[in-house]
Amino acid sequence: MPQLNADGDVVDIALHTIKVQNWDRTITTIPTKRFMSDSFKNWRGMQESGGRRIKRAIFLDQTSVRFLSHEEIQHLSGLYLLSDYLASKQQEIDDWNKKLAERGKEPANTRRITNLGTFRAYVENYLRKHPKVNQQMTQIVRHLNPTPEGLPLEVYCFANTIEWVPYEGIQADIFDHLLSILPEFGLRVFQQPSGVDMQRWSAGVGADIRPLQDIT
């Protein structure tokens, strides 16, 4: 019950009050009638399910999204989590493009494999193979609406434990790996400029500044 600063375990139920021991070990005493008039979240469903939800997004720099070259596809096909996906996807795209006939000579008319779609497939397969992700519960890897902070790629799955500390470790391990593997796909994480960035730009004024149209 966030409106009453209560978030933890019920430790005592009396006629007129209920005591909740919060996660920070403090105690909140709540009038019993508030459970009849106010809304509250019960964690028991999560505890009995055997899995705890992971729902977090990586914010990607949208300017790093592009089509993959043939050489990059060959390189990524060496990743065992992607070999089957890329073979199947390339066959699907080749069959589609063949139907275009003469119109297929214009690259803009054809379908091509993107680094973002390939990364999304990698994350899906990574979660399916992860030994600490509950494979009986929902798994989704999806784009959310673009924001000024980048394109959110949301990971939605469930850890195979309900214990807080192991759960946080599983979640951290997953995102440690995903953030580290991003450069393999030519993708970048979006991040607001820091003070260090400002210092570098200030020190490099006039040294490596090119018009936008010259940057490839």
Q: What is the pLDDT of residues 131-187, one digit of tens each?
A: 999 999 999 999 999 999 999 999 999 999 989 899 999 999 999 999 999 999 999
Mean pLDDT of the chain: 87
Assigned domain for 97 exists:
yes
Q: What's the predicted TM-score (pTM) here?
A: 0.79
Model confidence at 40, pLDDT cuts 50, 70, 90, reads confident
When divided into structural domains, the chain yields a total of: 2
Q: What is the CATH number of the domain that holds 31?
A: 2.30.30
Tell whether 72 and 22 lie within a shared domain: no
Tell whether 26 and 59 lie within a shared domain: no
Tell whether 85 and 155 lie within a shared domain: yes
- pLDDT of 107 strictly over 80: no
Predicted confidence at residue 38, as pLDDT, reads: 87
* Whether the Cβ atoms of residue 115 and residue 187 lie closer than 8 Å to each other: yes
Segment 99-108 shows an average pLDDT of: 74
**Any idea what the Cα angle at residue 56 is, between residues 49 and 191, rounded to 5°?**
170
Tell whether 111 and 157 lie within a shared domain: yes
* Whether the Cβ atoms of residue 56 and residue 150 lie closer than 8 Å to each other: no
- pLDDT of 200 strictly over 50: yes
Assigned domain for 46 exists:
no
Tell whether 70 and 169 lie within a shared domain: yes
What domain range is 101 assigned to?
A: 52-185
**Sign of the dihedral through C-alpha 200, 203, 205, 208:** negative
**To which residue do tokens 């946080």 refer?**
168
- What residue type is assigned to position 15 of the chain? L
Predicted confidence at residue 53, as pLDDT, reads: 94
Tell whether 105 and 175 lie within a shared domain: yes
What phi and psi, each to the nearest 5 degrees, are found at residue 129? Answer: -95, -10
Calculate the alpha carbon distances from 147 to 5, 56, 59, 88, 143 in Å.
31, 15, 9, 32, 11
Assigned domain for 206 exists:
no
